[in-house]
Structure 1
């Protein structure tokens, strides 16, 4: 089993860049489509803990769904549990890509953050 999980949306330009970066680094990874196989609440909780990031960083704030649901204002009054529940309902609400390896995880694509996760 591969120890690196790459969760992405194939039509996302940032995801394509990140995937190319991983391939260029010679990293073997499991590739998962974020909409066809959306992360579960438990998985999201695990990624959140591994990343050390604020849960709001896990929202795809530039996504159409985020705007449609008016989440910019709603998130302010939501608990972490409610946010996890919401994220688990739709892969398009989740910021991508997500890179997970061992006890590390990150969302979005920045080479230096990927390097931290890859060790």
Structure 2
């Protein structure tokens, strides 16, 4: 699987992350996270292949997350409901989300990108 990069043009972390990948000659497919959010199938694959907790995929510092009061609501939802909520609006997704079918990074930490994406 090609590296899938879900980002937002006005997000500084997304811009730093995509620049890092380009500067290191790492190919990826860019998805505008609002226009083309991750699908339910992709979210399920990420959870299955990386063992990440679903709640870590949410942008908990985002305005939309707070507006929808998801801090209170998510614990009461089933996993299917949480996934449905997550994919309903790209602004709910932690970004940048970078996934290649095996590896996942959320946000941008240069050391983490170096460790995970330089070796693939």
The C-alpha deviation readout for 1:32-77, integer Å capped at 9, x for no partner, is 1011111111111112223321111100111111000001111122
* C-alpha distance after superposition, 1:17-43 (max 9, x if no partner): 111111121111111101111111111
- Could you tell me which runs of 5 or more consecutive residues in structure 1 were left unpaired when the two chains were aligned: none
2:46/2:52 contact within 8 Å kept: no
> Is the partner of 2:66 in helix, strand or coil?
helix
Q: C-alpha displacement at 1:82, in angstroms?
A: 1.2
User: Which structure 1 residue ranges, 4+ long, deviate > 6 Å from structure 2?
Assistant: none
Question: 1:90 maps to which residue?
Answer: 89
- What do you get for the CA RMSD once the two structures are aligned? 1.6
Aligned residues: 118
- TM-score of the superposed pair, with normalisation by structure 2: 0.88
Q: Which residue of structure 2 lines up, in the alignment, with residue 46 of structure 1?
A: 45
Secondary structure of 1:14's aligned partner: helix
**Deviation of 1:90 (Å):** 0.7
TM-score (norm 1): 0.89
